[in-house]
Amino acid sequence: PGTGARRPASRTGSGLRPANPRLLRQRLFVFVVVTLVVAFGIALVQGCQGPS
């Protein structure tokens, strides 16, 4: 029985255990939405330039 804890009880972000599925689903949703918005923005910029 030592005074210091060997491993932290909960580590936010970099733990080996996966986060709760609700948080993972939310992160996946945000990732997909941001990716689609960026892709749409690139397509708009490419379309505004006209044929090269």
47 band by pLDDT with thresholds 50, 70 and 90: confident
Residue-wise pLDDT tens digits, 3-44: 655 655 555 555 556 668 899 999 999 999 999 999 999 999
* Cα 28 to Cα 40: distance, rounded to the nearest angstrom: 18
pLDDT at 30: 97
Q: If you ran DSSP here, which 8-state letter would residue 31 be given?
A: H
pLDDT at 3: 65
pLDDT at 8: 56
pLDDT at 20: 86
Cα atoms in the Cβ-side hemisphere of radius 13 Å centred on 21:
0
pLDDT at 2: 57
Cα torsion angle, 36, 42, 43, 48, sign: positive
